[in-house]
Amino acid sequence: MSTNTSTESRSRGKAPAGERVADWADGRLGIYSLAKANMRKIFPDHWSFMLGEICLYSFLIIILTGVYLTLFFHPSMNEVEYHGSYIPMQGQLMSEAYASTLEISFDVRGGLLIRQIHHWAAVIFLAGMFVHMMRVFFTGAFRKPREINWLFGFLLFVLGMFTGFTGYSLPDDLLSGTGVRFTQGAILSVPIVGTYISMFLFGGEFPGTDFVARFYSIHILLLPGIMLGLVVAHLILVFYHKHTQFAGAGRTNKNVVGMPLLPVYMAKAGGFFFLVFGFTALIAGIASINPIWNLGPYRPDMVSTGAQPDWYMGFAEGLVRAMPGWEINFWGHTLVLGVFIPLVLFGLFLAIIALYPFIESWITGDKREHHILDRPRNAPTRTAFGVAWVTAYMIMLIGGGNDIVATHFNLSINAVTWFVRIGFFAGPVVAFIVTKRICLGLQRRDKDKVLHGRESGIIKRLPHGEFIEVHEPLSQEQMYTLTAHEQYKPAEIGPTVDENGVKRKVKGSEKLRAKLSEAYYGEESQIPKPTVEEYKEITSGHGHH
Amino acid sequence: MSSQDNPEKNLPTAQDTTHGAVDVADEKHPFADPGLPPHEHRIQDIDERAAKRSERTVALLFTLSMLATIGFIASFVAIPVEKMVYIFPLGRISALNFALGVTLGIALFAIGAGAVHWARTLMSDEELTDERHPIEAPPEVRTKVMDDFRQGAKESQLGRRKLIRNTMFGALTLVPLSGVVLLRDLGPLPEDKLRHTAWSRGKLLINQNTNEPMRPSDIVVGSLTFAKPEGLDEHDHGFNNEIAKAALMIVRIQPDDIKDKRTLEWSHEGILAYSKICTHVGCPISLYEQQTHHVLCPCHQSTFDLSDGAKVIFGPAGHPLPQLRIGVNDEGYLEALADFDEPVGPAFWERG
């Protein structure tokens, strides 16, 4: 124990007060062993590593501002007549939820600011998680031993979407009510149990008088509680696994190079919390978000044009808008495929990205730990797959806003919808092919740089009149960095005849795996990195320029 | 299992596992890892005046934060909550919200900027190295854990006393059922609730805007009117549930322009009453093109042709809008001749 070594120096009364407090705590919590491992923990530096921090900090901001909002918000659907300070709504019938949101916005000093920080932070939180997830995906940071942390992060993203949705629905304004109606309609499409789920969720027919109170406890207790647990687990695993790093001189799979938590990351990360919070407060001060007073209270027979969900639900919205209205009637029942298929696709599409680490590790058969990040170009098939996924996501985001696109760019709504329908299938394929070509091109360029040096832009005239461009040889650091990546060989099915000459059956899964492995690591999918022999041949041939 | 494991020869030989840090790239290893580059000093590390400048910058930022907090409190006290100001290019906005947001933003941002500047310019930027250790436990630990577990499992006698095991699993499986049963009263059963609306034979069509019954002459060709059944008042308890199904959209089309025979029959001299609730996911429909008789749902852009039985002509809706059969009563007011003959709104499993 680390405490034993310092026992002698602990002459009570003489030690500074801070140390005495620490000693007291250590005697009860054992904080010194915890601090020994973590106080000077090394974190590598790269701009993309702060994306996750944005998520963490916006999550904290959401909790802080959310607690404040609960002090004023009334999660009730009791009908009241409005007599507050917002003149245009005088005398209107509305739910208490909507009335108290108006009060937060117009009567509580600073209430509007906190409401807007809360909403902006939620939008940033989801966007941050999306980009953070892409960072982890494209650099292969999800590989062993971090697959479970990938799942934790994925769950946070999905739960974040639903927490955002339930929170967005609470003010019971015309727009959010329309969103809830949409959800209810989608629930109704679920075969067999749809109507039952709807009745149970809304306490009867839509809209009923229960959903605000129910969404409230889901929004402020159930989902954030689970998320808080996941965030803690996510962070513990980041500490436990130690952060990944990019290849570079002195950076190996067996070490982690960077700056210590105390003081550098305490200051940088702690400071970054304030930067994110300050930025969010600034935009909440100057840019209005979700001005519910413009929309009016929800009534199920009223709607406004340009009805849009928050961006993170836009993908689901797009699926619903682009889907043709298929309905199958049989034996007195209706299969509402036009709504149910988008609902299922929404889940499947997210599930693919959640399961990806396990799919890739099955293809590679690689059971080693990976702490060195891939440059996206060095994993062309993965990168292309990721870009295809993002492309489909973005096309559906356009689909979710097809009316906005149509009105802003003066296009036909039908044409936009057809573009989305076709683009959802064609876009990812094109994106996959193009991305893969770009990755291979970049790999070739890296290889070229290692073998021939960097193009210096200096033109030299040789004595016999020939012009050549001078290539500067790379430094050893650069050379190492560009050749440090690993290249898999495609998996083979292996001998189909054992040593006794007996034929074994080749399983379908083996064949599939060999095919996928060929697609990932075959000749078409990666440029062999420069070998020592190639390098020597070229450098000894005409030497350095 | 063997098919899932990649044979060792197919795994890549990583650059970094074959050799450690080498100081010079020799003939044999031109791409070898040269090891961590020597630390390069920043200007603040060698020039105390530059360091002082950094110190002053950081202190200035922290001071700015303090001033901004004072500004926040002052704004909170001084600016009335209802005051609006014009600020270019934001337009007319709440003065208090703007002042509080900007001061709070600066107060927080300046702390962050100060801390980051401090870390970047004054704290040591020498890169340090930590060793990684495999996450997997060494084999002897694994053996110990497995033995401990077997020992514990054996001492519990769970495997030997099947009666205890089976009844325990039974009890643990059943006990959550209580929780499930408790959820039963979250709501009523669907029964035929989604099949009926507030409409019935003889109910007058009440104009949503004027709250008055309507005569055919009130409705001109090309107009769009919203109606509700008589006796349904927005102050009533349960109004929202009823209007969510009963909301009506009334248009008038020249009888010659009506393509569908039943549509014409169920109308009154070309006055058509359709459910306002979209058959896709239930948004109220309200965008009407009087020339084409198309109506568009603003939520998901399903488009219906009102002159042709409200057939879906574009978008994700799966079936036409239900039409309400209407006529005129003795006093000359428009009335319903029956409830809708099919469920309004989104389709569901039991709809058929």
d(CA A205, CA B245): 10
Segment A154-175, tens digit of pLDDT: 999 999 999 999 999 999 999 9
- The CA angle A54-A56-A62, to the nearest 5 degrees, is 100
Residue B284 in 3-state DSSP? strand
Question: How many CA atoms within 13 Å lie on the side-chain side of B189?
Answer: 4
B259 inside 8 A of chain A by CB:
no
DSSP letter assigned to residue B157: T
> How do strand A245-246 and strand A372-373 relate by DSSP bridges?
parallel
What's the confidence (pLDDT) of residue B23?
A: 45
What's the confidence (pLDDT) of residue B99?
A: 97
- The CA angle A333-A338-A344, to the nearest 5 degrees, is 95
What's the confidence (pLDDT) of residue A5?
A: 46
Q: Across chain A, what does the average pLDDT equal?
A: 92
The residue ranges of DSSP E strands in A341-466, in sequence order, are: 372-373, 454-461
Instruction: Show the tokens assigned to A261.
Output: 């938590």
Asked if A327 and B10 come within 8 Å (Cβ–Cβ), the reply is no
B35 inside 8 A of chain A by CB:
yes
Rounding to the nearest 10 degrees, give the CA dihedral for residues B39, B43, B47, B48: -100
Mean pLDDT of A49-71: 97
Segment A479-498, tens digit of pLDDT: 999 999 999 988 887 777 77
| One-character DSSP codes across A87-102 | GGGTT-EEEHHHHHHH
Mean pLDDT of A352-358: 96
Rounding to the nearest 10 degrees, give the CA dihedral for residues A285, A289, A290, A292: 30
pLDDT band of residue A2 (cuts 50, 70, 90) is: very low
d(CA A230, CA A225): 9
The answer to whether residue A258 scores a pLDDT higher than 70 is yes
Mean pLDDT of A293-305: 91
What's the confidence (pLDDT) of residue B10?
A: 57
pLDDT band of residue A101 (cuts 50, 70, 90) is: very high
B1 inside 8 A of chain A by CB:
no
Question: How many CA atoms within 13 Å lie on the side-chain side of B180?
Answer: 5
Asked if B281 and A368 come within 8 Å (Cβ–Cβ), the reply is no
What's the confidence (pLDDT) of residue B12?
A: 61
| One-character DSSP codes across B180-247 | HHHGGGGS---TTGGG--S--TTPBEEETTT-SB--GGGS-TT-EEEEEETT--TTSTTHHHHHHHH-
d(CA B12, CA B3): 18
The answer to whether residue A133 scores a pLDDT higher than 80 is yes
What's the confidence (pLDDT) of residue A376?
A: 96
- Residues 6+ away with beta carbon under 8 Å from B47: none
pLDDT band of residue A9 (cuts 50, 70, 90) is: very low
Rounded to the nearest angstrom, the minimum Cα separation between B205 and chain A is 15
**Which chain B residue's Cα is nearest to A323?**
B316
Among the listed ranges A60-74, A272-286, A324-338, which one has the minimum average pLDDT value? A324-338
Helical H runs in A170-290?
A: 174-188, 194-202, 211-217, 223-241, 266-286
Segment A380-438, tens digit of pLDDT: 999 999 999 999 999 999 999 999 999 999 999 999 999 999 999 999 999 999 999 99
Segment B185-236, tens digit of pLDDT: 999 999 999 999 999 999 999 999 999 999 999 999 999 999 999 999 988 8
d(CA B259, CA B132): 77
Contact A510, A534 (CB under 8 A): no
**Which chain A residue's Cα is nearest to B84?**
A106
What's the confidence (pLDDT) of residue A533?
A: 86
Angle between helices A380-400 and A111-138 (to 10 degrees): 150
Residues 296-315 of chain B whose Cβ lies under 8 A from any Cβ of chain A: 296, 298-302, 312, 314-315
What's the confidence (pLDDT) of residue A230?
A: 98
**What pTM was computed for the model?**
0.92
Instruction: Show the tokens assigned to B103.
Output: 């001061």
DSSP letter assigned to residue B10: G
Segment A206-245, tens digit of pLDDT: 999 999 999 999 999 999 999 999 999 999 999 999 999 9
Rg of chain A taking only CA atoms, in angstroms: 29
pLDDT band of residue A507 (cuts 50, 70, 90) is: confident
Residue A50 in 3-state DSSP? helix
Q: Which chain A residues contact residue B32 at CB under 8 A?
A: 476, 480
Which one of A256, A334, A487 has the shortest CB-CB distance to B351? Answer: A334
d(CA B246, CA A335): 24
Contact B303, A186 (CB under 8 A): no
CA distances (Å), origin B2, targets A244, A507, A519: 30, 11, 21
Which one of B90, B114, B134 has the shortest CB-CB distance to A369? Answer: B134
Query: Which is more confidently placed, A6 or B212?
Result: B212
The answer to whether residue B13 scores a pLDDT higher than 80 is no
What's the confidence (pLDDT) of residue A534?
A: 87
Instruction: Show the tokens assigned to A262.
Output: 């105390």
The answer to whether residue B5 scores a pLDDT higher than 60 is no
Q: Which chain B residues contact residue A200 at CB under 8 A?
A: 183, 186-187
The answer to whether residue B3 scores a pLDDT higher than 50 is no
Domain-by-domain residue ranges, chain A?
2-38, 51-340, 375-492+506-545
Q: Which chain A residues contact residue B314 at CB under 8 A?
A: 414, 417
Q: Report residue A79 CA to chain centroid gap.
A: 39
What's the confidence (pLDDT) of residue A524?
A: 87
The answer to whether residue B1 scores a pLDDT higher than 50 is no
Contact A94, A293 (CB under 8 A): no
Mean pLDDT of B152-163: 93
d(CA A497, CA A376): 39
The answer to whether residue A49 scores a pLDDT higher than 80 is yes
Rounded to the nearest angstrom, the minimum Cα separation between A193 and chain B is 8
Which one of A113, A255, A339 has the shortest CB-CB distance to B100? Answer: A113
The percent of residues above 90 in pLDDT, for chain A, comes to: 83
CA distances (Å), origin B65, targets A271, B114, B117, B301: 13, 9, 14, 49
What's the confidence (pLDDT) of residue A13?
A: 55
What's the confidence (pLDDT) of residue A501?
A: 79
- Residues 6+ away with beta carbon under 8 Å from A65: A114, A115, A117, A118, A121
What's the confidence (pLDDT) of residue A496?
A: 78
pLDDT band of residue A14 (cuts 50, 70, 90) is: confident
Segment A178-201, tens digit of pLDDT: 999 999 999 999 999 999 999 999
The answer to whether residue A15 scores a pLDDT higher than 70 is yes
**Burial label, A117 (beta-carbon count in 10 A; 0-12, 13-18, 19+):** buried
Segment A400-409, tens digit of pLDDT: 999 999 999 9
B291 inside 8 A of chain A by CB:
no
Mean pLDDT of A275-293: 96
Q: Which CATH class is domain A51-340?
A: mainly alpha
d(CA A137, CA A140): 5
The answer to whether residue B146 scores a pLDDT higher than 50 is yes
Contact A125, A133 (CB under 8 A): no
Asked if B130 and A284 come within 8 Å (Cβ–Cβ), the reply is no
d(CA B52, CA B121): 10
The answer to whether residue A543 scores a pLDDT higher than 90 is no
Rounding to the nearest 10 degrees, give the CA dihedral for residues B309, B315, B319, B325: -40
Contact B120, B70 (CB under 8 A): no
Q: Which chain A residues contact residue B276 at CB under 8 A?
A: 301
A439: how many CB neighbours lie within 10 A of its CB?
24
Q: Is A110 left (phi over 0), alpha (psi -120 to 50) or beta?
A: left
What's the confidence (pLDDT) of residue A186?
A: 95
- Residues 6+ away with beta carbon under 8 Å from A543: none
Amino acid in the structure at residue A436? K
Residue A434's H or E segment, with its range, is: helix A413-452
The answer to whether residue B252 scores a pLDDT higher than 90 is yes
Among the listed ranges A313-327, A521-535, B8-22, which one has the minimum average pLDDT value? B8-22
What's the confidence (pLDDT) of residue B17?
A: 41
